[in-house]
């Protein structure tokens, strides 16, 4: 009996000590993204709101921890992003940087985090190189990547008979990765690439590139761009009568905010692959309603959802590890699957890639939509173990 009492007392003291340690932790998270340019609707202040909602939900169950959110605009420039990251890590006590749209900035900041032995959790940036040739033990890639987008959209369209492809590509890291990954999957699915045109990022006038695509004889025109560039290219494609002429547009990175900006008249019938849709189920609707109340009625993109989920699970890992040390927190994240209301069950692989279900959506016609922001029909659910590129064993940092 005495032994049992002693063991029980030790266990209780250990639990109390662990709780006290967690309550003493102070955490600082930086949301670094585009707050004024072409990706500001996809990420921007919406990501800051999403991060704050994650903190709110975490602290509701863990009131003892201290959590601070800071944010900055990297203007989609890798040098500015790197400078902000260095200052945050060196002078401002930031423990983790989240979001990072524009793959070039994500890659740049990931290198800074590796150098400083800090941590980044990428939601907005898409290049699969983050867990490929540029993989890092300090990077967690949460929401989507170029391989997952290519697999979902390209495979489906080739299977429907659209075998000849032409790409209009933003000339920077993300566009290159998206064109490469989609081209590989088109060819692997029995299709062919008949041409490509790269434009200086960001772009305004897509007429010459659309004309090349129109004359190529391609059945599918892959738009390897995002945000304002994607919206402008689709609008100009409508002016050229490309879809009316029998060619199909493949949006290779499309967010709900893009479809909203385009309107269903121009976007209807578009296939796209996404990790999250606000109207997917009761839980996603409930969270999105909270988000909307702080964003003047706007609905969250998948990047916003990814910021929420990544920050929420980061904080939980900090608590369990009783530390903000990057190595300890990342080890905790990789130790077991995590679950939330937006992505369901997610697993952090040894290479830092987070795997979860992805979805192939088809944009509704105006007649199918039941109200504002009701834009997608689910065409297919892609299982987590199929949705992302198999892991490169060279990136096993476990």
CATH classification of the domain holding 238: 3.40.50.2300
Per-residue pLDDT tens digits for 104-135: 999 999 999 999 999 999 999 999 999 999 99
Q: Is residue 36 part of a domain?
A: yes
Distance separating alpha carbons of residues 174 and 171, to the nearest angstrom: 8
pLDDT at 268: 87
Verify that 181 and 136 share a domain, yes or no: no
Give the residue with greater pLDDT, 239 vs 329.
Answer: 329
Verify that 140 and 152 share a domain, yes or no: no
Verify that 115 and 256 share a domain, yes or no: no
**Is pLDDT at 99 greater than 70 in this prediction?**
yes
pLDDT over 90, % of the chain: 84
Mean pLDDT of the chain: 92
User: In which domain, by residue range, is 266 found?
Assistant: 147-277+358-383
Token pair recorded at residue 383: 């299982």
Q: Where are the alpha helices (DSSP H) in 62-189?
A: 78-90, 103-116, 146-159, 173-188
**Is pLDDT at 2 greater than 70 in this prediction?**
no
Verify that 134 and 241 share a domain, yes or no: no
Q: Is residue 391 part of a domain?
A: no
Verify that 124 and 252 share a domain, yes or no: no
pLDDT at 378: 93
Give the residue with greater pLDDT, 8 vs 393.
Answer: 393
**pLDDT tier, 195 (very low <50, low <70, confident <90, very high otherwise):** very high
Verify that 284 and 209 share a domain, yes or no: no
Full DSSP string of 310-353: HHHHHHHHHHHHTS--HHHHHHHHHTS-EEETTTEEEEE-TTSB
Give the residue with greater pLDDT, 387 vs 227.
Answer: 387
Q: What are phi and psi of 257, to 5 degrees?
A: -65, -30
Helix or strand run (H / E) with residue 55: helix 44-61
Rounded to 5 degrees, what angle do the CA atoms 378, 382, 386 make?
170
**pLDDT tier, 23 (very low <50, low <70, confident <90, very high otherwise):** low
pLDDT at 200: 95
Q: Is 347 exposed, middle or buried (0-12, 13-18, 19+ CB in 10 A)?
A: middle
90-109 average pLDDT score: 97
**pLDDT tier, 168 (very low <50, low <70, confident <90, very high otherwise):** very high
**Is pLDDT at 364 greater than 90 in this prediction?**
yes
**pLDDT tier, 88 (very low <50, low <70, confident <90, very high otherwise):** very high
**Is pLDDT at 15 greater than 50 in this prediction?**
no
Verify that 257 and 340 share a domain, yes or no: no
Residue 28's SS3 state is strand
* Residue 8 DSSP code: H
Q: Is residue 105 part of a domain?
A: yes
Number of folded domains that form the chain: 2
Q: Is residue 19 part of a domain?
A: no
Verify that 342 and 330 share a domain, yes or no: yes
Q: What are phi and psi of 196, to 5 degrees?
A: -155, 150
Q: Which residue has the tokens 């990175």?
A: 253
- How many residues are present in the chain? 398
Q: Is residue 196 part of a domain?
A: yes
Q: What are phi and psi of 42, to 5 degrees?
A: -70, -40
Per-residue pLDDT tens digits for 101-110: 999 999 999 9
Q: Which residue has the tokens 């049992």?
A: 4
**pLDDT tier, 18 (very low <50, low <70, confident <90, very high otherwise):** very low
Q: Of 338, 350, 348, which is closest to residue 398 (Cα–Cα)?
A: 350
263-274 average pLDDT score: 90
Q: Is residue 116 part of a domain?
A: yes
**pLDDT tier, 395 (very low <50, low <70, confident <90, very high otherwise):** confident
Rounded to 5 degrees, what angle do the CA atoms 271, 183, 38 make?
60
14-22 average pLDDT score: 46
pLDDT over 70, % of the chain: 93
Strand order in the sheet with 26-33: 66-73, 26-33, 96-99, 119-122, 139-141
pLDDT at 135: 95
pLDDT at 348: 97
Q: Give 168-183 as a 3 state SS string.
A: EEECCHHHHHHHHHHH
Helix or strand run (H / E) with residue 5: helix 2-24
Interior/surface letters 304-330, b for 16+ CB within 10 angstroms, e for the rest:
bbbbbbbbbbbbbbbbbbbbbebeebb
pLDDT at 397: 60
pTM for the full predicted model: 0.89
Distance separating alpha carbons of residues 128 and 148, to the nearest angstrom: 8
- For residue 205, the tally of other CB atoms under 10 A from its CB is 10
pLDDT at 396: 67
Verify that 117 and 191 share a domain, yes or no: no
Verify that 211 and 112 share a domain, yes or no: no
Compute the half-sphere exposure of residue 96: CA atoms within 13 Å on the CB side of its CA: 35
Q: Is residue 247 part of a domain?
A: yes
360-379 average pLDDT score: 94
Q: Is residue 394 part of a domain?
A: no
Verify that 291 and 264 share a domain, yes or no: no
Give the residue with greater pLDDT, 18 vs 87.
Answer: 87
Verify that 214 and 117 share a domain, yes or no: no
Number of H helices, E strands in the chain: 14, 15
């Amino acid at each position: 009996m005495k032994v049992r009492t002693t063991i029980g007392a030790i266990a209780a003291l250990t639990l109390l000590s662990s709780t006290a340690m967690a309550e003493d932790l102070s955490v600082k998270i930086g949301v670094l993204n585009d707050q004024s340019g072409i990706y500001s609707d996809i990420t921007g202040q919406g990501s800051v709101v999403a991060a704050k909602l994650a903190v709110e939900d975490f602290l509701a169950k863990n009131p003892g921890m201290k959590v601070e959110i800071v944010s900055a605009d990297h203007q989609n420039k890798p040098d500015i992003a790197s400078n902000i990251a260095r200052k945050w890590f060196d002078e401002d006590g930031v423990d983790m940087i989240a979001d990072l749209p524009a793959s070039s900035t994500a890659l740049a900041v990931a290198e800074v985090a590796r150098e400083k032995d800090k941590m980044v959790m990428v939601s907005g940036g898409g290049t699969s190189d983050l867990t490929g040739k540029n993989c890092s033990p300090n990077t967690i890639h949460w929401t989507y990547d170029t391989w997952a987008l290519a697999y979902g959209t390209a495979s489906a369209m080739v299977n429907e008979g659209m075998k000849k492809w032409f790409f209009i590509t933003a000339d920077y890291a993300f566009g290159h990765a998206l064109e490469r990954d989609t081209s590989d999957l088109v060819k692997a699915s029995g299709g062919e690439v008949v041409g490509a045109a790269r434009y200086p990022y960001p772009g305004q006038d897509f007429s010459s590139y659309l004309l090349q695509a129109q004359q190529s004889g391609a059945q599918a025109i892959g738009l390897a761009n995002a945000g304002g560039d994607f919206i402008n290219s689709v609008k100009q494609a409508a002016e050229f009568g490309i879809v009316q002429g029998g060619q199909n547009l493949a949006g290779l990175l499309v967010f709900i905010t893009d479809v909203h900006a385009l309107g269903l008249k121009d976007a209807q019938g578009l296939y796209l692959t996404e990790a999250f849709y606000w109207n997917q189920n009761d839980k996603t609707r409930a969270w999105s309603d909270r988000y909307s109340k702080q964003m003047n009625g706007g609905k969250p993109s998948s990047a916003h959802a990814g910021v929420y989920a990544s920050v929420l699970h980061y904080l939980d890992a900090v608590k369990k590890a009783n530390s903000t040390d990057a190595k300890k927190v990342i080890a905790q994240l990789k130790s077991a699957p995590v679950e939330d209301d937006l992505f369901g069950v997610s697993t952090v692989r040894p290479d830092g890639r987070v795997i979860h279900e992805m979805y192939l959506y088809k944009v509704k016609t105006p007649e199918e939509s039941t109200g504002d922001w009701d834009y997608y029909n689910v065409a297919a659910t892609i299982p987590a173990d199929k949705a992302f590129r198999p892991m490169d064993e060279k990136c096993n940092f476990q």
